[in-house]
Amino acid sequence: MRTLRVVGLHEDGKSIVCEDPARRERFLLPADEKLRAAVRGDVPRLGQIEIETESQMRPREIQARIRAGESVQQVADAAGVSVERVERFAYPVLLERSRTAELAQSAHPVREDGPDLRTLGEIVAYAFGVRGQDYSQASWDAWRGDDGRWIVALRWTAGRSDNAAHWQFSAGAHGGTVTALDEHAEDLLDPHRTPRTLRAVGAEAEPLPEPEPEPVDEQPTLDIDAQPDPSAAKPKPKKKAHPAVPAWEDVLLGVRSQRG
């Protein structure tokens, strides 16, 4: 790399005249904002100018997309610039997202009867322990949704499946509150409930057969002249009717003989 020396200002008033001392060759260097930032040693401003020059995506837009949940790689691909240049503007936003995810773990899940006394982090750690899963392998993240509210996510792998649970985080006193946004989040807040995602791999869920109604034993009709056998499961056929035995009053008074 050759070293040039500044000769002076060009007659157009917009360029700096530089010269190669060895070859006596002269060069024009635009006296633009980029040169002024370089002279001041303003590295962040230089990076911003480079992105504005090479891409139509402004630094503010880059930070907005990072804050909305996109990765540095995704933004770099969309802007058509290197990852290193996007990182200059993404770094403070990534710190903000990480800090919010950390704060959300100290928030209290909202129940039907009010906020839980335990924190989200405590409940989730217990749920992973109950199910025999490695909580240390799970990762937290946060970003702003379309409505401007923070969304907190937990991602983990169980077997061959990648899972994610989402809560809405509202900062406030005593750590703030979180509200479940999907079934995974609800399952983690109720550790003793069987997760609804557990099913055989490759098998379609089939409805359980409805239980058949139990048979109801019909009560046998009692015959006033004969008593049913209590040991029989079903009523026995009726016996032949015998002549009715006269009551003792009839015999004593002779009523039946007189009627006959």
What is the tens place of the pLDDT at every residue in 127-176? 999 999 999 999 999 999 999 999 999 999 988 899 999 999 999 989 99
Q: Dihedral of CA 9/15/20/26: which sign?
A: negative
Residue type for 223, please? D
- Residues 1-10: tens digit of each pLDDT: 778 888 888 8
- Tokens representing 115 are 């906020």
Residue ranges per domain, the chain? 32-102, 105-189
Q: Where are the beta strands (DSSP E) in the chain?
A: 5-9, 15-20, 25-30, 108-111, 114-115, 139-144, 150-158, 161-170, 177-180
Collapsing DSSP states into helix, strand and coil, what is residue 132?
coil
Greatest mean pLDDT among 28-32, 41-45, 76-80, 96-100 lies in 96-100
- Residues 175-232: tens digit of each pLDDT: 999 999 999 999 999 987 765 544 444 444 445 455 565 555 555 454 545 755 555 5
Mean pLDDT on 225-243: 54
From the CB of residue 61, how many other CB atoms can be counted at a distance below 10 Å?
Answer: 16
- Tokens representing 117 are 């006394």
Compute the C-alpha angle 59/63/68, nearest 5°.
Answer: 145
What is the pLDDT, as a whole number, of residue 159?
86
- Residues 92-106: tens digit of each pLDDT: 999 999 999 999 999
**What strands, in cross-sheet order, belong to the sheet with 15-20?**
5-9, 15-20, 25-30
Whether residue 236 is predicted with pLDDT greater than 60 in this model: the reply is no
At 40, give phi and psi (nearest 5°). Answer: -75, -15
169 beta partners: 150, 178
Collapsing DSSP states into helix, strand and coil, what is residue 143?
strand
